[in-house]
Structure 1
Amino acid sequence: MSTFTEIENEAIKIGIGNTPLYKIDNTGIYAKLEYYNKFKSVKDRASFFMIDYALKTGSLKKWQTIIEASSGNTGIAIAGISKFMGIKSEIVIPETAPEATQEILAEYGATVVTTPGSSTENSINYIDNLVKLNPEKYYRIGQHENELNSMAHYYGTGPEISRELNHIDHIVVGIGTGGTITGLSRYFKEKYDVEVTGVLPAEGSHIVGLRNPYVSNHRKILEIYKDYIDNFVTVTEDEAYEGVKELNEKYRLLCWPIIGC
């Protein structure tokens, strides 16, 4: 058994993974219901992979503090998993992050730091400086460049979907760090002739959970696996929330940004 398979099995044991695949009427469209994960979003998967692998390889020590910049769901997942594993966490978020996010982070025992503006760029820069000053105290997850972010979906989400569907023609994934879309696209392109579309926020739109990495210096995962993505579409805030409203009203799917779908 590979280390990655072992990590995936351990994640499932604590309630991360094996989420339902929901068929949306007769559209031929399926949604992976990631709010069934232990800490309520798709980010649980990558967070567990990154933390557990670091513990197994010894790069993370139990006495260290895990630190990460996040606009929401990754921070919540890291805080929840850290508490479950008995490790301290510090999550750095933009000051515009929803109040609910800060409340959940505090509930999970994380130290919460806010940085100016609505972008995680300032949060990442803050961590850069802090870790340089305290290299022994902190273990930085580095979700934007950590390839385990992508591996979580290559070894977990992709195989789960494949066990339920005989063939897939097209996958559409919202982009934040690029971990979900690159892990899924690599897995499915090895099996099928599949088209991959990434969803980005329209210019000027602030949609929790989505991010345009191409206007950032932090996009290593997407740079490594960019050839696996065929095209991109953008959505505005109004379009995103109208979609969320429709999914909730018509299908009772809880796809708010704080939850994930």
Structure 2
Amino acid sequence: MSEPLSANAIGVTWLQDAYAPAAESLARQLGLPCDQADSTTCSLWLQVGEQGLSLQASGPDAPGAVRVDFVEGAMAHRRQFGGGAGQMVAKAVGLRGAIRPSVLDATAGLGRDAFVLAALGCQVTLIERQPVIAALLDDGLQRARAAGGEVAEIAARMQLIHADAIEAMGAWQGQIPQVVHLDPMFPHREKSALVKKEMRLFRPLAGDDLDAPALLAAALQLASHRVAVKRPRKAPAIEGALPSAQLNGQSSRYDIYGKKKLEA
């Protein structure tokens, strides 16, 4: 992993005075400074407000804030109109017919792929090692569970672990996941403003996953049936074992490492 943003460049703030105590509590939990929103001492701010937790860069040219929202917006649209089990991530982890494997998403990020799989009926465990991103994801999951209805049912199938994925998989104590899903950080080239905004915020935090070969090796050791790795469409496979199959999309692909046939 490349060198992340230094801890003192990240702070916690509040958007309304009523959320100052929650911001102070979160700052203590993460070991980060807490200050008023008009402070210019940090490059990135975790903002606590009535809509939950968001991440905002400071400075005049900063992109808009990013938050995890499973209830409305893009994820709600994808849940309703995204293509169901025909989506590439669903095919990559082996969904077909009545087959709904248990999935470990070892590079959870904002949890979008995990949410899609949970929406399709999979039990999904998420691992995120970057504490600020994990806090955003945890906040999004809590709001989804509180929303009730279908979204709460989906979020109930998602369990978040804040840990280093390589270490966690190597010392795994729970039920063995049938499939491990990996999406190591890589330089996105998509043109959408949303992707650009997220990458501008997250790359200084998380860097690139330079330990991807070790991540793949740990995933292959743990998964009982397969490992699915998301890659840029023209990028080489991760160093190590060779994939047994590939699934190609317009801008990305999945390298599939099969171990055992999935059955209902």
What is the TM-score with the length of structure 1 in the denominator?
0.34
> Is the radius of gyration larger for structure 1 or structure 2?
2
Q: Larger % of helix: which? A: 1
Normalised to the residue count of structure 2, the TM-score between the two structures is 0.33
